[in-house]
Amino acid sequence: MRVPFNKIIDCLEIKADWIGVREVSCQSATLSARNAHSEQSNFAVDQGVMIEVLQDGQFGYASTYSLDMQSIRSTAQQALLMAKIGSPYKVAHFTQNQRPNHQKEDSLLQKTQPLLFSDKLPQIEEKLIELSAYLKKSPPIINAMVMALVTQMEQRYASTSGSSITQNFQFISPFMKVTAAKGNIIQTRTLNGHFAHSYQGSLAGLDEIINRENADQVVADVLELLSAEPCPSGDLDLVLAPDQMMLQIHESIGHPLEIDRILGDERNFAGSSFVKVSDFGFLHYGSPMMNVSFDPNVSGEFATYEFDDIGQRAKPEKIIQRGLLLRGLGGLESQWRSGLPGVANLRASNWNRPAIDRIGNLNLDPGSSSQEEILGAVENGVLMMTNRSWSIDDCRNKFQFGCEMGKLIRKGKIIRTVRDPNYRGETVPFWNRLALVGNAATMKVYGTPYCGKGEPSQLARVGHGAPLCLFRDIEVFGGV
Amino acid sequence: MEVEQVEDQFAQVAEKLINLLDRDEHLTLALRGESSQFLRINQSKVRQIGTVDDIVLTLQFIKGDRQSSLEIPFYADIKQDLPLGQKMIEELRSLVPRLGRDPFLVLPQSYGFSQVKHKGTLLPKEKVPEALLKHLSASDLVGFYAAGDLFRANINSAGQKHWFSTQTYCFDYSLFSELHPQQAAVKGRVGGTTWNQQNYQQKISQANEELNYLNQPLMNLPTGKYRVYLSPGAVNELLHILAWDTLSESSIQRGESCLSKMKFGERIFSEKFSLRENFSYGWKERFNTLGELAPDLLDLIQNGVWVNTLINARSAKEYQKLSNGANSEEHPQSPEILPGAMTPKEILGRLDTGLYITNLHYLNWSDRPNGRITGMTRNACFLVQKGKIVGPILPLRFDETLFHFFGKGLEDFTDFQEEWPEPHTYLYRQLGGRIVPGALVDNVTFTL
């Protein structure tokens, strides 16, 4: 028989310095349509519990999908065993100070209607099928795909130090993609990138994204790309649209500033960081135009939450101000280990993974330049839109990005479309070439459910808002 | 978790649920489970340690010309699983007719019966930190140990049954240089079904010796074209990106592969390059989620000639081809690049002047339709001049096509291969691995 969450801690029958329990329940739907047909829509019900034990300075964890008394008790014993066998070799001595004590029963979002088997899902799928048929209507288009991922999640957290938190979320990720071919040229265009329109909110919001107006633009773009010249090569001015700024922020600000990465935890897998503990407060990460915020409270942004997964209350913090690096992205464990101030970002992908430092909502604050002013300031350059490729070295320094579409700018005017635009650079010099930052009118907020990191590996949801930005003198190049 | 009990209960539950089906209904039940221990190490110490138990049952339900799948937990207890399964089938029965028609839906067939069970001798859970760390001679080991039971199963309403279970471990690690603790490391991976403490300690000792090469200043090399030797670890990364949609029949048809513009049956790579699926190592189940059995060996590229794509039954139906039992993504599951003729002693001499690269990092397509990729060198990489190692280098970015790496730039593969078991654990602990040689490649473009 299933143990009610509020009884779990009482029934564990282990003695430890501290115990925490995190239960996660999810219902999810992946609705998919391709070329006017349903493409195997899938659903999932998932539930499990993670028990975390602190003993002799070491956290041990054990997780199970099975919520009966016997399984829960056995799992707790495993967690205690893990802590005990790990303690003699621990990398840091943790205490209850790394596990705060808060109570919260309401959540930012009202609990929504149960997702699975509702009438809404077939209705949404029908809409996706219709739109995929609409996208496919032009002959050069060889593939048209429309998708929506929907996840409802309830997360409950309790601890022996008195934490008691319930949070409810609804995550929605719509996506649209077309591929077209003409002769030897094949081009793909999406709606602002791979699931870039990820948001938290209601299903009604899908209509603002998955619609014919956006479909018309995606089709027009891909057909234009088929006849476009390749992007030229050279050191040019580079204007990045918000749907490419998203990846630039993610890879060259977000990840390098994760404090657990700076402490070396990720060196075997995702890599390290060029940032050192001593850089905070001193490193000029970018030009004075650069202001970056960690903001877990933005309504609808994909990584908005009230508490992180060890129960720390999440609040906005300035990370970079006028180009100066102020604060890292690390939760209470990393803050303790490094001595640095951080943010509430210890998060886990699900009940079956331990919490680690994750980027969260990381946004470039808007500046004061209009779109016209930014384009007008370019003598010879390229505007690049929508990320399609990303690569960076294991210290987060040398990067290369590719985009779906480019526009040549000459003497302040867009003159034509170019295909296969790419650029490369090094993180700190690049951000110090940030010359103009768009105003709030140019700002867009995007997200993704696919930020990967950790051992065992985990996918995290992140959000990135950014305006249009101008960078001077960047190495730009085209395709083969 | 008792795996034998899981197998037995799965068969019982599947039989009962299949008996509930109406005449126009079909069902495939796919099971995936693990009982894993994880240990994460940083600075030769324990960072995080824990266990995960998880079993997921996927019900693939077809009614008429419509289908859907539903994942639910599986408790290996018929008293819980049967009512839950019955309830979910009722819900699917109501939902599926309201979904769109799926013209490429494949009805279950009986693809036969298979039962593969690998027993392992793993470290007892309570001994793992001690075995990995107590007598460690390295001061900055960073690594990830994952071990335990893994199983997959597939039963369908046409009568087929497949079961695969194994007990495996994988320890993926990097030993970092004292002089360059962020960047320069010797990388290694041990894995299999039987833990060998002596082998592990020997590997670490050997890595420690190799670290001496890294405890020197890192050279900042200019960009340009270089001859390169790619050790098996680096070739493994190239194979990883080649496996990403390139050989998938559906990706090729949709214009999402760099082979989309190539001619099937023609030589598109060097005649020295042969790639095949090789399930004989037993790392992974041969059946896919439809229950189709892949052949033990399947040539994909033979002496540079493109001879097969990876096709599952769904793609076969859509594109009127024959299926070869590929998985749902149509990615290679147990690929092998065949060896060449270059002996270990010949490597430096034949490289002459160039770069000795042990690892690559963060590869991605810079121009996918034309097969161009970019990525970074990582960990222990060296400048070699006239056959002698000069010293370690700072990371360099390359931008080059796969048709160059495995085509006109390829001079030879080594006569030996290495096994690289799958270390990945996104969503769940993965099965599989790759078998790769080292490669000598001329004229590779480095850009940053």
DSSP per position, B386-434: TTEEEEEB---EEEEEHHIIIIITEEEEEEEEEEEE----SSSPPP-EE
> Please, which pLDDT band fits residue B112 given cuts at 50, 70 and 90?
confident
Give the alpha-carbon dihedral of B314, B320, B324, B325, to 10 degrees.
10
Put simply, the chain A residues between 301 and 360 with a CB less than 8 A from any chain B CB are 352-354, 356
Q: What is the pLDDT of residues A64-118, one digit of tens each?
A: 999 999 999 999 999 999 999 999 999 999 999 999 887 776 555 556 667 777 8
pLDDT at A138: 86
Q: Which residues of A touch B375 (CB under 8 A)?
A: 391
Helix (H, G, I), strand (E, B) or coil at B367: strand
Q: Does A394 touch chain B (CB under 8 A)?
A: yes
Residue of A352, A419, A450 to mutate, testing the B interface (most B Cβ within 10 Å of its Cβ): A352
The predicted model scores a pTM of 0.95
Task: Inspect the interface and report whether the beta carbons of B71 and A42 lie closer than 8 Å.
Answer: yes
> Please, which pLDDT band fits residue B225 given cuts at 50, 70 and 90?
very high
Q: Does A234 touch chain B (CB under 8 A)?
A: no
Q: Does A79 touch chain B (CB under 8 A)?
A: yes
Measured distance CA(A42)–CA(A44) in Å, rounded: 7
pLDDT surpassing 80 at residue A480: no
Closest CA to A48 of A85, A23, A26: A23
Chain B residue with Cα closest to A84: B126
Closest CA to A176 of A228, A225, A224, A141: A141
For residue B194, the number of C-alpha atoms closer than 13 Å in the C-beta half-sphere is 5
Measured distance CA(A269)–CA(B383) in Å, rounded: 24
Q: What is the DSSP pairing of strand A346-347 with strand A444-453?
A: unpaired
Q: Does B38 touch chain A (CB under 8 A)?
A: yes
Measured distance CA(A215)–CA(A197) in Å, rounded: 14
Q: Does A56 touch chain B (CB under 8 A)?
A: no
What would the two tokens of residue A435 be?
């010359």
Task: Inspect the interface and report whether the beta carbons of A394 and B376 lie closer than 8 Å.
Answer: yes
pLDDT at A116: 79
- Positive or negative, the CA dihedral B249, B243, A400, A322 is positive
Q: Which residues of A touch B139 (CB under 8 A)?
A: none
Q: Does A274 touch chain B (CB under 8 A)?
A: yes
Give the whole-number percent of chain A exceeding pLDDT 90.
91
Strand partners, A159: A20
pLDDT at A331: 98
Q: In Å, how far are A229, A233, A247, A256, A424 from A381, measured between CA atoms?
A: 15, 10, 20, 28, 14
Query: Where are the strands (E) in A76-163, listed by range?
Result: 103-104, 141-159
Give the alpha-carbon dihedral of B4, B7, B8, B13, to 10 degrees.
150
Q: What is the pLDDT of residues B42-68, one digit of tens each?
A: 999 999 999 999 999 999 999 999 999
pLDDT surpassing 90 at residue A241: yes
pLDDT at A1: 74
Q: Minimal Cα–Cα distance from A341 to chain B, Å?
A: 20
Strand partners, B185: B176
Give the whole-number percent of chain B exceeding pLDDT 90.
86
ipTM of the complex in this document = 0.95
Q: Does A449 touch chain B (CB under 8 A)?
A: no
Task: Inspect the interface and report whether the beta carbons of A37 and B102 lie closer than 8 Å.
Answer: yes
Q: Are A420 and A231 in contact (CB under 8 A)?
A: yes
DSSP string, B76-124: S-HHHHHHHHHHHHHHHHHHGGGSPP-TT--------EEEEE---BPPP
Measured distance CA(B245)–CA(B366) in Å, rounded: 15
Put simply, the chain A residues between 197 and 216 with a CB less than 8 A from any chain B CB are none
Task: Inspect the interface and report whether the beta carbons of B56 and A46 lie closer than 8 Å.
Answer: yes
Task: Inspect the interface and report whether the beta carbons of B125 and A45 lie closer than 8 Å.
Answer: no
